[in-house]
Amino acid sequence: MYSHGRHPSSQLLRIHQNHFLIDCGEGTQFQLQRFKCKPFKINCIFISHLHGDHYFGLIGLLTTYQLLRRESALTIVGPPKLEEIIRLQLSVANSVLTYPVEFIVTQDEEVQVVYENDEVEVTSFPLQHRIECTGFLFREKLSGRRLNPEAIKDLSLSAENYKDLKGGNDIVDMDGRPHTNESLTLPGYVPRSYAYCTDTLFLPSIIPIVKGVDLLYHETTFIHEALERAIVTFHSTTIQAATIAAEAGVKKLLIGHFSSKYQDLQLLLNECQSVFEETSLSLEGHIFQIKRE
Amino acid sequence: MYSHGRHPSSQLLRIHQNHFLIDCGEGTQFQLQRFKCKPFKINCIFISHLHGDHYFGLIGLLTTYQLLRRESALTIVGPPKLEEIIRLQLSVANSVLTYPVEFIVTQDEEVQVVYENDEVEVTSFPLQHRIECTGFLFREKLSGRRLNPEAIKDLSLSAENYKDLKGGNDIVDMDGRPHTNESLTLPGYVPRSYAYCTDTLFLPSIIPIVKGVDLLYHETTFIHEALERAIVTFHSTTIQAATIAAEAGVKKLLIGHFSSKYQDLQLLLNECQSVFEETSLSLEGHIFQIKRE
């Protein structure tokens, strides 16, 4: 079901060369087309849990890759049983994928690093929902020192010099002059971070995990008046999400996964902002950038 | 994948009180909403084969019924393994459906009646595709004789009289006068029929099965110039579909399942019409009515 033009969950997250898809509800591949995203760039897909509004679109996307002869490797991070479901559907269709897929299995007992490369580290952490469910924390890796354009502009530097400077070493330039690393470089950027938390009951145990992130996506299925309904269905209210954001001292809160009850989302936004000012609605097709500091 | 605004296969067929969904590609539930169809009226779903563009939307539709607390029974007719896929996805989501579902398994060895009630009989028949695949023939049941409004307008008839007349019996009216059945009734309508054939190689063995149907839907994935490609991928060309229609003496041909190669469909239509004039494109949201004779 989709209501008021809102489709099931899926987010595209870009971190340098990484294109991550987070959750993949039915129709995600059509939405990627609609918003002119390039599905072939996606190198890793993260699935929070096996309720349909978070993964029914995955098999369709994988099949489309197949039809279009994707060759590059794909990693899928998700709950146990996800691989079995996908493999069964591929096998009845007699499909042998044209590209390698690696499945990484999450578990909802403890925090674990589920994906890592030179640019980013992704951690999964337990949420509390009707079935096994995890959140994901994406953290940019600390970059090395970066060149100070002002300081180097009149120097003759070799490729080796650049590499040494980025590695934190002192150098001798091509004219034979020595330079300390500090004189030619600036400190690296502060690593940026994004946390994705859906679907879950109000869960204070995630506060230390998402502490200080630049951007926190937290579900707000209900307004706070529907607290009892939220508890019964293992979802969160506006005030609960905003409380997590405030307690964790995040820089910005993004809310989503709104119940189809709510055509107008202004009340949900207002309730969150009453506790945590820096809140935005995650609407279809909207892009949020985390600027470097 | 969808291209040029065309979504994967799904058709809604109404025969008296029956609302049948035929195939259910990804996003079908959104399309039903978009075209203001009432998904709750669907009492039986027919799946031709287990390639994603024909069934990936089924689990989403079933889950939406669940969320909206459907209670009325649903029948699903489809290939072996379909039930296993659906049950696995329901089980990992901890879902117990709020409505009964009966699965009826098709086989692609011979023609078989797969569904029947007072108004309609549905037969599946083998097609030839890369995996097991069947077509479906929907045939309205022969209605009994119908009342002749002119002949009965001045008579006093009891409920029993009406029943007897429809059953083909002679009656004595409430004023004690006898009437033969023929004097008060007309012959029943000619039963209408619809055949659905996708995906398949050109398959002359279906000609006797779809002989004389009012409406034949036959896939035309390719223009006829791409015949070799059609053979390799187990699909049909325009000329092949139109040949089936002509040989079977159907009243009208509906073509669809167009390759994403073709943005403009006029050439496909023209090619079919060169062999079989009464051809139409099956476009999104279009409705075709079969009039009574």
Torsion of CA B199, B202, B204, B210, to 10 degrees: 40
Q: How far apart are CA A181 and CA A26, in angstroms?
A: 52
Neighbours of B141 (CB within 10 A): 15
- Give the Cα-Cα-Cα angle B226, B288, B189 (nearest 5 degrees): 125
Q: Is residue B191 less than 8 Å (CB to CB) from chain A? A: no
- Cα pseudo-dihedral A260, A261, A263, A266, rounded to 10: -110
Helix (H), strand (E) at residue A279: strand A279-281
Residues of B in contact with A59 (CB under 8 A): 52, 56
Question: In this complex, is the C-beta atom of B269 within 8 Å of any C-beta atom belonging to chain A?
Answer: no
Both tokens assigned to B22: 């035929």
Q: Which of B202, B284, B279, B278 is nearest to B244 (CA)?
A: B202
| Enzyme catalytic residues of B | 53
Q: Which of A33, A52, A64 sits opposite B60 (nearest CB)?
A: A52
Q: Give the pTM.
A: 0.90
ipTM reported for the complex, 2 dp:
0.88
For chain A, the residue count is 293
Give pLDDT, residue B5: 80
Least confident of A82-96, B90-104, B145-159: B145-159
Distance from CA of A87 to the nearest CA of B (A): 10
Lowest-pLDDT choice from A66-75, A199-208, B181-190: B181-190
| Confidence band of B2 (pLDDT split at 50, 70, 90) | low
Q: Which residue has the higher pLDDT, A247 or A149?
A: A247
State whether B60 and A26 contact (CB < 8 Å). yes
Mean pLDDT of B76-90: 97
DSSP letter at A281 equals E
Stronger pLDDT, B131 or B143, i.e. the higher one:
B131
At B102, the pLDDT band (50, 70, 90 cuts) reads very high
pLDDT, position A144: 78
Question: What whole-number percentage of chain B has pLDDT above 70?
Answer: 99
Instruction: Provide the pLDDT confidence category of residue A292 given band limits of 50, 70 and 90.
Output: confident
On chain B, the residues whose CB falls within 8 A of the CB of A94 are: 130-131
Confidence of residue B1 (pLDDT cuts 50, 70, 90): low
Is the CB of residue B199 less than 8 Å away from at least one CB of chain A? Answer: no
Average of per-residue pLDDT across B194-209: 97
So what's the pLDDT on residue B167? 84
Nearest Cα to B25, choosing from B64, B4, B52?
A: B52
**Portion 11-30 of A in contact with B at CB < 8 A:** 26-27, 29-30
pLDDT (mean) for A51-58: 97
Of A27, A67, A94, the CB nearest to B30: A27
What is the DSSP secondary-structure string of B133-181? -EEEEEEEPPP--EE-HHHHTTS---HHHHHHHHTT--EE-TTS-EE-H
- Supply the pLDDT for residue A4: 82
State residue B4's pLDDT score. Answer: 82
Q: pLDDT tens, B115-138?
A: 999 999 999 999 999 999 999 999
Closest residue by Cα to residue B46 from B209, B191, B196, B210: B196
CB contact under 8 Å between B60 and A94, yes or no, is no
Tell me the one-letter amino acid at B95: S
pLDDT in tens, A117-130: 999 999 999 999 99
A88 shares contact with chain B (CB less than 8 Å): yes
Euclidean distance between CA atoms A261 and A233, whole angstroms: 14
pLDDT digits (tens, 9 = 90+) for A13-47: 999 999 999 999 999 999 999 999 999 999 999 99
Residue among A109, A136, A138 nearest A47 (CA): A136
Torsion angle in degrees (nearest 10) through CA of A237, A240, A246, A249? -90
User: Residue B48 in contact with residue B199, Cβ under 8 Å?
Assistant: yes
For residue B22, the SS3 value is: strand
| Mean pLDDT of the B52-70 span | 96
Residue range B13-26, pLDDT digits in tens: 999 999 999 999 99
> In this predicted model, what pLDDT tens digit does every residue of A263-277 receive, in sequence order?
999 999 999 999 999
Tell me, yes or no, if B227 comes closer than 8 A to chain A by beta carbon.
Answer: no
pLDDT at B271: 98
Amino acid A1: pLDDT: 55
Q: Is A93 at the interface with chain B, CB within 8 A?
A: yes
Which among A232, A202, A204, A206 has a CA at the least distance from the CA of A220? A202
Sign for the pseudo-dihedral over CA of A267, A268, A271, A272: negative
What share of chain B has pLDDT > 90, as a percent? 90
CB–CB contact A93 B52 (8 Å):
yes
Chain segment B215-245, per-residue pLDDT in tens: 999 999 999 999 999 999 999 999 999 999 9
Tell me whether A159 touches chain B (CB under 8 Å). Answer: no
Distance from CA of A151 to the nearest CA of B (A): 51
Contact indicator for A123, A111 with CB cutoff of 8 Å: yes
As a whole number of angstroms, the distance between CA A172 and CA B280 comes to 77
Dmax over CA atoms of chain A, in Å, equals: 73
A2 pLDDT tier (thresholds 50, 70, 90): low
**Degrees, nearest 5: CA angle B217-B256-B278:** 55
Facing A93 at nearest CB: one of B51, B59, B60 = B51
**How far is the C-alpha of B174 from the C-alpha of B188, rounded, in Å?**
25
* pLDDT value of position A166: 83
Q: Which chain B residues are within 8 Å of A85, Cβ to Cβ? A: 85, 88-89, 92
Asked if B26 and A57 come within 8 Å (Cβ–Cβ), the reply is yes
Contacts of B261 in chain A (CB under 8 A): none
Residue of A nearest to B39 (CA): A1
Strand order in the sheet with B253-256: B112-116, B120-126, B134-140, B193-197, B215-219, B253-256, B279-281
Sheet with A44-46, side-by-side order of all strands:
A11-15, A18-22, A44-46, A74-78, A101-105
Phi and psi angles of residue B263, each rounded to the nearest 5 degrees, phi first: -80, -45
d(CA B78, CA B65): 19
Sequence letter at residue B238: T
State the average pLDDT over residues B60-68: 95
Q: By three-state DSSP, how is residue B284 classified?
A: coil
Q: How many residues does chain B have?
A: 293
Q: Nearest residue of A to residue B84 by CA position?
A: A88
* pLDDT classification of A255: cutoffs 50, 70, 90: very high
Tell me the CA distances in angstroms from A209 to A123, A194, A195, A250, B75, one per residue in order: 9, 11, 9, 11, 47
For residue A26, which residues of chain B lie inside 8 Å, CB to CB? 26-27, 29-30, 56-57, 60
Which region holds residue B54: left if phi is over 0, alpha if psi is between -120 and 50, else beta? Answer: alpha
